[in-house]
Chain A
Amino acid sequence: MKILIAEDETLIRLDLRAILQRHGFTVCAEARDGVEAIELARSTEPDAALLDVRMPNLDGIEAARRIYAERPLPIVMLTAFRDRATVDKAVAAGVFGYLLKPFREGDVAPALYAAVARHGELLAARRRLGTEQPKRIDLDLPSPSGHAWPVRIERAEDGSLDVRVVQQ
């Protein structure tokens, strides 16, 4: 499994890399800030990402949001911020795990395995919906014969599909 790590402190980054390698992961990219993280996520196509929150240029939560928007992948945050507001911001950005620094080696691999498994389920469910990346389009399906069809499928603002029966 290929992991991208983003961490501005060199010692922690080296430590993380060693831990991941010990647990059988491949570290495919090491970013030192949020902008690098986005670029490396694009060029190395990792299976999962482990991001620090406070980094130069672009913070990890905003990087997570942009990485996920480009190509959905499970993201785990690794940060010293334990306040509810930061956790909530990360949760809203779509992260699958949130580990606190100083982190314990025993938490890293389990968080990644759980994140990858659950994110896989989310992607599978989205595939069933036919919308792996939500787009804003109207899906007002006509019947094959051209007559108005009583079931209307509309795309809501947030990209979700709303299905309802139209009463005529």
Chain B
Amino acid sequence: MRVLIAEDETLIRLDLKGMLERAGLEVCAEARDGVEAVELAGSESPDIAVLDVKMPRLDGIEAARRILDQRPIPIVIVSAFTERSLVRRAADAGVYGYLAKPFREEDLMPAIATAGARFAQLSAVREQADSLAEALAARKAIERAKGLLMENQRLSEQDAFVRLRRASQTSGRPMRVIAEAIIETLS
């Protein structure tokens, strides 16, 4: 698993990197502030990010929000500051974990493990929901197109469906695209 870390203090950054590597993770990018973190998240495509909060130019929570806008990944915040307003901002931004600094080496791995697993679970459910929504939208379009073909071309339902399917196969386009084109043309 490739990790992006963002921490402005060099010693802590090296320390964090050492901990992650000892745990068998690859640190693929090291940012010294929030702006760098956002850029490196874009260019290095890490699997997970560990971000400090107080950093120059852009704080870790705003960086987390921007990273998640680009491409969702699990994010764990590490910070010496744990006041409620900050924690809630981080939770609202979409982070999976929030560890108080200084933390022990062994605190980090369970946080990363739970973050990674729950993120993967959410991604899978969202993907299923998207494909289900897509399938239902396709179904609706195809029903409509079939109805239009039956009406305009005086086809039986079976024949209308065969036409649609053949058009899809010969054009190499999904049935939904064909159906939408027919709706556009005939309605």
Interface residues as binary, B121-151 with A (CB distance below 8 Å gives 1, 0 otherwise): 1101110110111110011001100000000
Expressed in whole angstroms, the minimum distance between the Cβ of A32 and any Cβ of chain B is 24
B97 in the interface (beta carbon within 8 A): yes
Expressed in whole angstroms, the minimum distance between the Cβ of B144 and any Cβ of chain A is 11
Task: Given the known inter-chain contacts A23-B84, A107-B107, please indicate yes or no for A117 contacting B143, CB distance below 8 A.
Answer: no
Task: Give the interface centre of A99, A118, A163, A168 by most chain B CB atoms within 10 Å.
Answer: A118
Give complex CA distance A52, B117 in Å.
20
Interface residues as binary, B60-88 with A (CB distance below 8 Å gives 1, 0 otherwise): 00000000000000000100001010011
Q: Provide the main secondary structure of the chain A interface.
A: mixed
- Kindly report which residue of chain A lies nearest to residue B174, judged by CB atoms: A165
- Kindly report which residue of chain A lies nearest to residue B161, judged by CB atoms: A147
Among A140-159, those with CB < 8 Å from B are: 141, 143-145, 147, 149-151, 153
B175 in the interface (beta carbon within 8 A): yes
A38 in the interface (beta carbon within 8 A): no
Give complex CA distance A162, B152 in Å.
35
Select A128's contact among B99, B107, B133, beta carbons within 8 Å: B133
Q: Are A160 and B128 in contact (CB under 8 A)?
A: yes
Expressed in whole angstroms, the minimum distance between the Cβ of A1 and any Cβ of chain B is 11
Q: Are A109 and B106 in contact (CB under 8 A)?
A: no
Task: Given the known inter-chain contacts A118-B118, A145-B157, A153-B135, please indicate yes or no for A109 contacting B82, CB distance below 8 A.
Answer: yes
The stretch that binds B, out of A7-15, A41-49, A89-97, is A89-97
Q: Are B91 and A117 in contact (CB under 8 A)?
A: yes
Select A97's contact among B88, B106, B114, B126, beta carbons within 8 Å: B114
Q: Are B107 and A97 in contact (CB under 8 A)?
A: no
Q: Are A97 and B82 in contact (CB under 8 A)?
A: no
B109 in the interface (beta carbon within 8 A): yes
Q: How many residues of A contact B (CB 8 A)?
A: 48
Q: Are A160 and B87 in contact (CB under 8 A)?
A: no
Q: Are A129 and B125 in contact (CB under 8 A)?
A: yes
Chain B residues positioned under 8 Å from A92 (CB to CB): 117
Q: Are B110 and A82 in contact (CB under 8 A)?
A: yes
A121 in the interface (beta carbon within 8 A): yes
Select A129's contact among B117, B129, B165, beta carbons within 8 Å: B129
B111 in the interface (beta carbon within 8 A): yes
Give complex CA distance A97, B104 in Å.
16
Q: A residues near B, CB below 8 A?
A: 23-24, 82, 84, 87-88, 90-92, 94-100, 104, 106-107, 109-111, 113-114, 116-118, 121-122, 125-126, 128-130, 141, 143-145, 147, 149-151, 153, 160-161, 163, 165, 168
Of the A-B pairs whose beta carbons lie under 8 Å apart in the complex, a sample of 12, sorted by A's number, is A87-B109, A92-B117, A94-B121, A96-B114, A110-B90, A114-B91, A116-B91, A122-B125, A126-B125, A147-B157, A151-B138, A160-B128
Given A96-B118, A107-B107, A150-B175, 4 other A-B residues pairs in contact with their CB atoms under 8 A: A106-B100, A109-B82, A147-B158, A163-B131
